[in-house]
């Protein structure tokens, strides 16, 4: 049972991810933009974050950079979601500090298994 921050500006996708991950028994904090995602991570100290890349205002990439810059959050596992699947975008995603990168449309089952993989990896560490 983990606390997961989910950020996406599309309400349906947000709910979809919330549905799937809460079915697995996790506590979900859902927000709609990058700034809220950073605030939620700092306030709630989640175990994992799922961030959409294309968000208005602060993008997922800016959010992840801010998160990595915070000494308290530097080890937070982050999965990026995006509709852009160019090689360059993937590289940028990983370069900014993401632990995983999933392209839309994605299979919720796939997302769930990656979340579990990251959670078990990081809980094994701590």
Partner 1 sequence: MDRPVSKNPGTNRGLPKTDPGRPVARIVTPVLFRFGALIVVMALVAIVGMVLSLRAVSHLTDEVEPAADANAAVLQDLTAMNAAVSSWALSGRSSAVDDYVQALRRLPADQQKVRQFAGDDAELDLLVARLEERTQAWLDAYSEPRIVAKGGPGSYNPQRFRQGQDLFAKVEAAHQETQDAFDTRVRDASDEATLFFRGTIAAVAVLALLAWYLIGRSRARLLTEISEPLRALETAVQRMARTDLDARAEARGPKEVRSVAIALNNYADAQGRARAVEGRIQNELRVLDTAKDDFVSNVSHELRTPLTTISGYLEMVAEEFEGQLQPRHERMLEATRRNVTRLKALIDDLLALSKAESRATDLEAADVTTLVRDAVTDVRITGARRGIRVEVSAPAEPMMVLSDRAMLQRALINVLSNAVKFSHDNGQVDVTVKKLEPHQVEIAVQDHGIGIPQIELDRLGTRFFRASNAVTNEIAGTGLGLRIVQTIIDKHAGDVMIESTEGKGTTVFIRLRLHGYGGLRVAEDPTED
Nearest distance, CB of residue 109 and partner 1, angstroms: 6
- Judged by CB, which is closer to partner 1: 53, or 73? 53
Is there binding between residue 10 and partner 1 (CB under 8 A)? yes
**Is residue 126 within 8 Å of residue 34, measured between CB atoms?**
no
According to CB under 8 A, which residues from 39 to 58 bind partner 1? 54
- Binding track over 59-98 against partner 1, x by CB under 8 A: ------------------------xx--x-----------
- Rounded to the nearest whole angstrom, what is the least distance from the CB of residue 105 to partner 1 in the complex? 4
Say whether residue 16 binds partner 1 (CB under 8 A).
Answer: yes
Core vs surface per residue 80-102: b (16+ CB within 10 A) or e: bbbeeeeeebbebbeebbbbbbb
Site size toward partner 1, by CB under 8 A? 16
**What ranges make up the beta strands (E) of 1-126?**
3-7, 27-31, 48-52, 78-82, 100-103
104 binds partner 1 (CB under 8 A): yes
Bridge partners for 82 per DSSP: 103
Query: How far apart are the C-alpha atoms of 20 and 73, rounded to whole Å?
Result: 25
Q: What angle do CA 11, 38, 110 make, to 5 degrees?
A: 55
Residues forming contacts to partner 1 in the complex (CB under 8 A) are 10, 12-13, 16, 19-20, 54, 83-84, 87, 104-109
């Amino acid at each position: 049972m983990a606390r997961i921050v989910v950020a996406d500006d599309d309400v349906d996708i947000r709910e979809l991810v919330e549905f799937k991950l809460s079915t697995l028994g996790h506590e979900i904090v859902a927000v709609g933009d990058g700034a809220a995602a950073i605030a939620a991570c700092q306030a709630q100290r989640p175990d994992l974050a799922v961030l959409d890349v294309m968000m208005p205002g602060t993008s997922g990439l800016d959010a992840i950079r801010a998160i990595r810059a915070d000494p308290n959050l530097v080890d937070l596992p982050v999965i990026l979601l995006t509709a852009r699947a160019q090689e360059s975008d993937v590289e940028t995603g990983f370069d900014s500090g993401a632990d995983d990168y999933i392209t839309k449309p994605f299979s919720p089952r796939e997302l769930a298994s990656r979340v579990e993989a990251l959670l078990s990896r990081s809980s094994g560490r701590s």
